Structure 1
Amino acid sequence: MKPDTLKVFLAAYEKRMLTLARHPGLGRRVSYRTALTTQARLMASVIAGDEATYTPFAWR
């Protein structure tokens, strides 16, 4: 990517990661960045056998 294109992409990505959305597992609004971290931890718990099921987070 050209430097100018990369700057535009990263600005849009950062804006999206700061957007708030309701997370069903947490029961509150969190940033997409926090939602991704939570989902990764939940998936790791399922893989490790600590949790029985994985509930996906629906993006809009």
Structure 2
Amino acid sequence: MASTSPQARTVLERFPAGGPRGSRPAEEYGAAQRARGTNARVVMDLRTDQFLVVTDTITQ
């Protein structure tokens, strides 16, 4: 069985979920980060009602 390092998320930016209709600042920020080479994705944090732009961080 192969050993893997545990992964954690690093939050790059937070955006409120209640933005104006048609406005997607979290998606735009995530796309800009991906264009710069960062493996960023947008997830919803239901507890805080925010969109988070995150990247995986390998912990050692």
Fold-level match, TM-score > 0.5?
no
* Greater strand share, structure number: 2
Structure with max Cα Rg? 1
